[in-house]
Amino acid sequence: MTENMKDSVISTRVRLARNLKGIPFPSKIGAGQANVVAGKVYEALGKGYKLYNIARLNESEAGALVEKHLISKELVASCPFGSVIVGDDETLSVMLNEEDHVREQVILSGLKLEEAYRLVDGLDDRIGENAQFAFSERLGYLTACPTNLGTGMRASVMMFLPALTITDTLMQSVNALGMLNIALRGVYGEGSDAIGFIYQISNRRTLGLTENDILGLVRTAVNHLSEAEERAREFLIATREISVKDEIMRAYGIAANAYRLSNQELIRYFAFIKLGAYYKLIPVKRVFALDELMTSLQPYNLISAADRPLNTPEERDVYRAECVREALKEIVG
């Protein structure tokens, strides 16, 4: 991974969509059939994994899984028989009975497309040994949504693109990718917002492409956007130096000293602190630590990890600020 990629890439996710042969798609499934799906997959994985029935989780537990990108909002909101299997280190997970019977995924920090695919392919082999997948010689893996036909694979990279956003040149850079069929989405996928200048870059289609084709297309797109972001950061500091530096230092000053911080403030300030690290205005020891901290301080994860009850938004904001003040002492300096 080149230096400019390190400054813009956050994480890599590779996901495979699968359905079991002879069982209706989840939109038509019953409780008994959903249990068959979950049982076959969980049996295939064995030790080192935990099975969560979404209907049995409380709001905070389910919300924390969404914030960690281990499950989708749709699984919580509209899948009565949904469940998820999560590996002990939360790198590997499998959503069950969402849009498809099986959504296997691997999430790794940094740009690690080939490694993520290798891991999810191994997971797929293990599940496939215990459950026969619906497959067509002509169409490939059969999925509920036609855009997933073929390999059923979605490779995505989470990118931090502040300068392209601030200079309003992001879509120009994305449109330049043209025939690569690359999608630009928000933090939580299709229809979500790009909070904190963070975007998901992923392939649009899978039919007619091999897994290596998809990995190559996404890597090309990430490289293109990383280089464009690098140029935009140079342009940004050259044309708006005073205002950019002021925004960065104000963000750090408030985050390091605030008595309370809302989640929206946290996301905005951390985005500018990261940009300040790039410009060497703020001596951040490990930028990835800021990403990890931001995830852990999202509302539901904050509630789960707190050392005291957080019953109101104000209490959460005060506790979040405490955590940020202490963490920045270790991360910066």
3 pLDDT above the threshold of 80: no
Q: What is the DSSP letter of 186?
A: B
Other C-beta atoms closer than 10 Å to the C-beta of 231 total 15
190 pLDDT above the threshold of 60: no
Query: Does one domain contain both 221 and 246?
Result: no
Q: Tell how strand 135-136 and strand 102-109 pair up.
A: unpaired
316 pLDDT above the threshold of 80: yes
Q: Please give the tally of structural domains in the chain.
A: 2
310 pLDDT above the threshold of 80: yes
Query: Does one domain contain both 119 and 170?
Result: yes
- Quick one: pLDDT band at residue 294, thresholds 50, 70, 90? very high
> What is residue 127's predicted lDDT score, i.e. its pLDDT?
96
Mean pLDDT of 10-33: 96
- Quick one: pLDDT band at residue 186, thresholds 50, 70, 90? confident
> What is residue 274's predicted lDDT score, i.e. its pLDDT?
97
> What is residue 161's predicted lDDT score, i.e. its pLDDT?
96
2 pLDDT above the threshold of 80: no
**Is the entire prediction scored with pTM above 0.95?**
no
Instruction: Check which CATH number belongs to the domain holding 48 and give it.
Output: 3.30.590.10
192 pLDDT above the threshold of 80: no
Lowest mean pLDDT among 191-200, 283-292, 308-317: 191-200
Q: Which residue, of 213, 232, 251, is where some domain finishes?
A: 232
Query: Does one domain contain both 219 and 256?
Result: no
Whether residue 106 contacts residue 120, with contact meaning beta carbons closer than 8 Å, is answered with: yes
- Quick one: pLDDT band at residue 178, thresholds 50, 70, 90? confident
Query: Does one domain contain both 156 and 228?
Result: yes
Query: Does one domain contain both 138 and 254?
Result: no
Query: Does one domain contain both 83 and 153?
Result: yes
87-142 pLDDT, tens digit per residue, is: 999 999 999 999 999 999 999 999 999 999 999 999 999 999 999 999 999 999 99
Query: Does one domain contain both 202 and 250?
Result: no
9 pLDDT above the threshold of 80: yes
The pair of three-digit structure tokens given for residue 133, joined into one six-digit string? 């997948």
> What is residue 6's predicted lDDT score, i.e. its pLDDT?
75
> What is residue 103's predicted lDDT score, i.e. its pLDDT?
97
> ∠ at Cα 244 (239, 246), nearest 5°?
135
**What is the full DSSP assignment across 284-331?**
BS-HHHHHHHHHHTSHHHHHHH-SS---SHHHHHHHHHHHHHHHHHHH
- Quick one: pLDDT band at residue 333, thresholds 50, 70, 90? confident
Q: Which residue, of 232, 256, 278, is where some domain finishes?
A: 232
Residue 294 domain boundaries: 241-331
230-269 pLDDT, tens digit per residue, is: 999 999 999 999 999 999 999 999 999 999 999 999 999 9
> What is residue 193's predicted lDDT score, i.e. its pLDDT?
62
Query: Does one domain contain both 174 and 284?
Result: no
Q: What is the mean pLDDT of the chain?
A: 93
> What is residue 324's predicted lDDT score, i.e. its pLDDT?
97
**What is the full DSSP assignment across 137-155?**
TTTEE--SSGGG-BS-EEE
Mean pLDDT of 138-150: 94
> Tokens 């530096």 belong to which residue?
245
> What is residue 68's predicted lDDT score, i.e. its pLDDT?
94
Q: Which residue, of 179, 200, 232, is where some domain finishes?
A: 232
Residue 10 Cα distances to 13, 22, 64, 194, angstroms: 10, 39, 19, 14
> What is residue 180's predicted lDDT score, i.e. its pLDDT?
85
Burial of 227 (0-12, 13-18, 19+ CB in 10 A): middle
> What is residue 185's predicted lDDT score, i.e. its pLDDT?
85
214 pLDDT above the threshold of 60: yes
